[in-house]
């Protein structure tokens, strides 16, 4: 019975918790394309996208929504600081169409403020790119937690990887990458 329940859980799309501010954004549309179960929450920090299965959290920051002329007053640095304190594996995903001098100044200030924290900063060109980065990082964290090391990952079978909650296609791609054979 327990094996059947585990198999059903693996077949269900993984949940993603998004703050209400992200629920009507282009990012949410991109997440839905991957058939993820989206849960909207008011209790998370605005801009949050959390992948509970992997324990990874992202602060979605489309720069088009941030007033660059008065960035200090917008409260975005304060929210990012709070976000970094709350989440252990945290990333800020800065979405911008162009890398202007103002954009780079913003990223430099953000990096300087969080040099001593585990917060990582990712630049993305579009919500679609941001979604792909989030999903890749989430999957990597699941594998790292489940397998442990690169050596163990290289020796893992497809079924070992699927026990880490990876889907069949991804697990087979990982096995092929390391030159193994896909064992189901």
Task: List, for residues 39-78, the tens digit of each pLDDT value.
Answer: 999 999 999 999 998 889 999 999 887 766 656 656 888 8
Portion of the chain with pLDDT greater than 90, in percent = 38
- Establish if 1 belongs to a structural domain: no
Residues 134 and 170 reside in one and the same domain: no
Query: Which one has a higher pLDDT value, 100 or 91?
Result: 91
Q: Is the pLDDT of residue 184 over 60?
A: no
Other beta carbons within 10 Å of 114: 18
Residues 108 and 43 reside in one and the same domain: yes
Residue-by-residue DSSP string for the chain: -HHHHHHHHHHSPPEEEEEHHHHTSHHHHHHHHTT-EEEEESSSPTTEEEETTTTEEEEEEEGGGS-GGGTGGGTHHHHHHHHHHH-SEEEEEEE-SS--HHHHHHHHHHHHHTTTSS-EEEEESSHHHHHHHHHHHHHHHHHHHHH-SHHHHHH--HHHHHHTT--HHHHHHHHHHTT-----
pTM of the model: 0.80
Q: Is the pLDDT of residue 183 over 90?
A: no
Query: Which one has a higher pLDDT value, 25 or 114?
Result: 25
Residues 45 and 75 reside in one and the same domain: yes
Tokens standing for residue 59: 């602060």
Residues 75 and 114 reside in one and the same domain: yes
pLDDT at 53: 85
pLDDT at 58: 97
Residues 127 and 171 reside in one and the same domain: no
Residues 46 and 107 reside in one and the same domain: yes
- Establish if 100 belongs to a structural domain: yes
- Establish if 170 belongs to a structural domain: yes
Residues 124 and 37 reside in one and the same domain: yes
The phi, psi pair for 183, rounded to 5°, reads: -110, 125
- Establish if 9 belongs to a structural domain: no
The whole domain housing 121 covers: 16-139
Residues 80 and 165 reside in one and the same domain: no
Residues 157 and 101 reside in one and the same domain: no
Banded model confidence at residue 181, pLDDT cuts 50, 70, 90: low
**Tokens 């290289």 belong to residue:** 154
């Amino acid at each position: 019975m327990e094996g059947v329940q585990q198999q059903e859980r693996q077949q269900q799309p993984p949940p993603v918790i998004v703050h209400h501010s992200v629920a009507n954004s282009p990012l949410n549309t991109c997440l839905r394309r991957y058939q993820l179960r989206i849960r909207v929450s008011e209790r998370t920090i605005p801009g949050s996208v959390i992948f509970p299965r992997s324990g990874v959290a992202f602060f979605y920051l489309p720069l088009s929504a941030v007033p660059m002329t008065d960035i200090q007053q917008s409260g975005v640095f304060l929210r990012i600081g709070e976000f970094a304190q709350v989440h252990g594996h945290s990333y800020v995903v800065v979405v911008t169409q162009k890398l202007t001098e103002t954009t780079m100044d913003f990223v430099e200030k953000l990096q300087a403020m969080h040099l001593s924290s585990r917060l990582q900063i990712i630049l993305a060109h579009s919500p679609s790119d941001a979604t792909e980065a989030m999903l890749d990082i989430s999957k990597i964290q699941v594998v790292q937690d489940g397998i442990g090391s690169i050596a163990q990952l290289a020796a893992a079978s497809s079924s070992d990887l699927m026990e880490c909650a990876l889907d069949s296609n991804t697990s087979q791609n990982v096995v092929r990458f390391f030159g193994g054979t896909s064992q189901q």
